Chains A and B, each alone.
Chain A
Amino acid sequence: MSVDPLSATAELQRWVRFTPAQRLARTAVFFVVVAAIAWALKTIEIIPEFLYDAPEQVVDMGKRMWPIDWGHFWPVVWPALIETLHIAAMATILGLLMGIPVGFLAARNATPVVWLNAIARFVLVATRSISTLIWALFFVAMFGPGPLAGALAIAFHSIGFIGKMFSEGVEEANRGSIEALQAAGATRMQQILMGYWPQVIPTFWSIALFRWDINVRESAVLGLVGAGGIGMALNAAIDLIQWERVALILFTIFIVVILIETIVTQIRKRVI
């Protein structure tokens, strides 16, 4: 009678939440994060005077923004706001028109061709990584300043987002109806239109609404590079150091963004 059997099994079955590999991965992530932050803190170039001065400067700017110049609203801000909303709407439609086909090409079940998937995925990542402002620089150079450049810029930037979400939706589609269509001899196009599409309609609408909401926010900055919308009014006001007008434009953007978000939430609740 050397070992008490009960304590022996207890020793063997000690409960550990994670496997050693999991613990190693977690520790490694932790150390990498700490190292990255330490590196960033140590090497970043910040002018200390600017940093100490910052609170004072922000307060000063806040003071200069008051009182808000409401008289500026109807002649300048309102038309710019309407243009911003047009840009956002057109960009959403164009983005959907370009993003949905790429999304189908990126979905492994709808397009079982590996190299097509790879190309589509690269297009999705690439369009998303180039920010709206940089797209806007290109399109302003191509089509001249104005809302057209803005709408195209946001549309191209949103291909990545729309395509990625959509391809994930397609990959979750139920195989049953697709197999039924294949058994009936449907072509690939028919499978997509009759099999996948009806299943992803709710995904489609929710992506469209979500992206429209984001696009309104994005279209507010395009004016900085001359691509139309309320950003142009903002840029002009900042360049002319009219902080009362800057405050008005920021306030307008704030209200519009909240309104749009409320609308989107309500539509989601009721329709989708």
Chain B
Amino acid sequence: MATCCAKFTAAKIGWQHEPQNALHPSRGVGVTPTAVTRSDFFAPSMARRLAYVAVLAYLVYAAATLGLSLERVERGVGYGLRFLAGFFPPNFTETDIVPGLLESLQIAFLSSLIGTVIAVPVAVLAARNLMPAGVSWAARLVIIFCRSFHPVIVAIIAVKAVGFGALAGIIALTFASVGFVGKLLAEAIEEISKKQIEAVRATGASFMNVIAFGVVPQVMNRFIGFVAYETDSNLRNSTMVGVVGAGGIGGTLFSAFQRFDYNFVAGIILAIIGLVMIGEVLQIYVKRVFR
């Protein structure tokens, strides 16, 4: 029985000579020219090979433009080691760390709040299953626009517009939140089941009722997940926007760096890592609670 089945499958994939014993070592070896060997079967297509070669050639070219030389690397590593030596012992005693971290937290919370409040209507407008094509395209353009610029670029522009401080950071991260939550929520709304919408509509519900009883229950859990993730990501970014003057611990870090106070730099970085780790744990917890 077993040999019969082996014969059948082997014949199907094109072996010409079938050894009597399916477990014989000669099986699959010394096959005729028409045989399919393993290496042929898994060989990449010509197009794929060309793509690999093209990518590799580009990378070599790009690496050449970086101006890498052994002498430069050697010197750089030397400086790097001096840096690392300068980090010890990390300095946490300065009183600037806590206010900076708190300001980063404030920026993260408020930008997530404002960003979400703006993102929800934009996402509803962008969902193609709820809105006519013209409206959804306009809303999509807003989302794409918010997503394309790195928060730091928006932060620079915001600092120029509204001056140094937390307000600029909030504006920058709000921008990013609208893009992120808007995109994911719009996609989530597009994936919902049409049946519940139709059922709610059949009762004579208005548009707002359809949203409240047909759409919201279907996307609520995912929405909470997105917002939790976004808050975590804003927390991470709020420690960075300070480098360009938009408030938070980043500004403290940047000025410590500029006055070569590396012990303090190390302290701030460890504090940021701790904060981000706590944020990540909380984010995962919130997601689990609302699964």
Contact = CB atoms under 8 A, between A and B. Distances in A.
B153 A50 contact: no
Contact of B76 (A131, A142, A151, A257): A142
Interface string A45-78: 1110011011001100100000000000000000
Nearest to A255: B148
Interface string A125-151: 110111111100111011110111001
B79 A141 contact: yes
Interface in B33-47: none
Interface in A6-54: 22, 25-26, 29, 36-37, 39-41, 43-47, 50-51, 53-54
Which of B153, B165, B269, B275 gathers most chain A CB within 10 Å?
B153
Given A254-B148, A257-B148, A131 B240 contact: yes
A253 B148 contact: yes
B113 A37 contact: yes
A137 B257 contact: yes
Contacts of A146: 66-67
Given A44-B110, A129-B272, A250 B145 contact: no
A50 B162 contact: yes
Contacts of A217: 148-150
A54 B167 contact: yes
A89 interface: yes
A54 B58 contact: no
Nearest to B110: A40
A61 B161 contact: yes
Contacts of B236: 128-129, 131
Nearest to A217: B150
B144 A89 contact: no
Interface stretch (A105-113, A167-175, A188-196, A220-228): A220-228
Nearest to B257: A137
Contact of B269 (A133, A134, A225): A134
A244 interface: no
Contacts of B144: 258
B162 A134 contact: no
Interface residues of B, number: 61
Nearest to A249: B153
B105 interface: yes
The range of chain A's interface size is 35 or more
A57 B244 CA distance: 18
Given A37-B113, A46-B167, A53-B162, A133 B273 contact: no
A50 B62 CA distance: 44
B253 A61 contact: no
Contact of A47 (B153, B163, B280, B286): B163
Interface string A209-248: 0000000011011001100000100100010000000100
A254 B253 CA distance: 29
Nearest to B111: A40
Given A93-B59, A147-B67, A258 B243 contact: no
B239 interface: yes
A218 B150 contact: yes
A90 interface: yes
Contacts of A39: 106, 109
Given A40-B109, A90-B59, A137-B257, A130 B165 contact: no
Given A47-B165, A89-B58, A125-B276, A131 B153 contact: no
B103 A45 contact: yes
Given A146-B67, A220-B150, 10 more contacts: A25-B289, A45-B166, A46-B166, A61-B160, A86-B62, A89-B62, A129-B273, A130-B269, A137-B254, A138-B83
